[in-house]
Amino acid sequence: MKRGFKACLLLCACLLSGCWDRTEINDLAFITGSAFDLTDTGDYKLSLQIAIPSSNQGGAAGGGAQQKFFVLSATGKNANEAFEKLQKKSSRKLFTAHRSVIFIGEALGKKGINGILDIFVHDPRQRLRTYIMVVKGGEAEKVLQTKYPFDQVPMEAVKEMEGQQSEIAVNLREFFISASSPGIDPIMGAIEVEPEGNEQVKARLFKLAGSAVFKEMRMVGLLNGEETDALNWATDHMEDGRINAALPDGQGNVGMLVTHARRKITADTRGERIRFKVLLQGKGTLIENNTDLNISRPKNIALAEQALEKSAEKQVSEAMLKLQKQFDADAVGFGQILRRNKPKQWKTIQKQWERKFAEADIEVVVKLSIAGAGMAGPPLQWSKKEIRE
């Protein structure tokens, strides 16, 4: 009996010990970024940016700096076919868990991205926390090929840009939730590659370029930086927003940093046209004063607040109008607000929401409070006689 028990223990120990299916790190190729483009034949082009492990044997031959990444590309009828072709080009197993960003070429975004997104849902190796972005005005592959000066691997720079939340930052999980939820259309951030200096040098940088609006998984339009800031505030995602405004009668202009922003949307479904009131509240500091006013005085602070409020109201209203009339896409989620707060009314208009949203009256009201205006008080370059109290 004891011998049998010991044999069982020995057998269990043999089965439980060790990592029989492990993959050594030296056998992995770490993907830092992926890019999808549309080919002339209608196929998908998948490009991968792969990090090159650093060498402990000194610099590259000839004393030059060691290349930190390289890009592989292949085409296919779907993402899986293209990925398999890329795996055959790599001596190491392609590893996606460290990928930071997925880029979509603008042409592919306009055609529709249903054909490339399914793999990210059903493949357990794909991380839903990965950022997804549209490449404005060009091919997505170009972003992967760009050598960014501040970071050894360019995709880390994009990850840090998105993490700053200065514009729209959307990951796969958030995009899928919006795309599958009634009463809202999904969005994602946009990026573009710009030339630096002489074109022949091919030294390029990339920069955040607003946001892309999708409807039924097809890109219907792009919002610029200011419109994206307005959308961020309207969706209650604004952090450290900046507002600029010109004072009346040519008195100059002021700039404000909004550090505490809130949003409240109410709906009135009485009548043929639905009415929404978007109340945006913000607190912050005045960081620029290009006027002859002593902005630390209460009456002058009130004057600056009014100008900034009007400027913000105009900026947000124009963005809402663009969503309604040009894109016909509810990227803010007004439909979700109706579904949550007025479920009975939502059931009756849900099938007509596309038309109802386009015809809705959207009123934008902004209330700002300036604190700590002393830092931008009287202009230091002017004499006391020139400053208006």
Question: What is the DSSP secondary-structure string of 214-226?
Answer: EETTEEEEEE-HH
What pLDDT is attached to residue 20?
45
Q: What domains, with CATH codes, occur in the chain?
A: 25-53+67-223 (no CATH), 237-389 (3.30.300.210)
Q: For residue 65, what is the DSSP state? A: P
3-state helix, strand, coil in the chain (%, to 5): 35, 30, 30
pTM of the model: 0.82
What pLDDT is attached to residue 201?
44
**Angstrom distance (rounded) from CA 82 to CA 175:** 23
Mean pLDDT by 10 residues, the chain (389 residues): 58 53 68 91 91 59 62 90 87 79 94 86 79 91 79 62 70 92 94 67 71 95 93 89 87 88 93 93 89 81 92 96 95 95 92 93 95 60 57
Which of 126, 145, 112 minimizes the C-alpha distance to 44? 112
**Angstrom distance (rounded) from CA 99 to CA 93:** 14
CB 386 within 8 A of CB 292: yes
CB 132 within 8 A of CB 102: yes
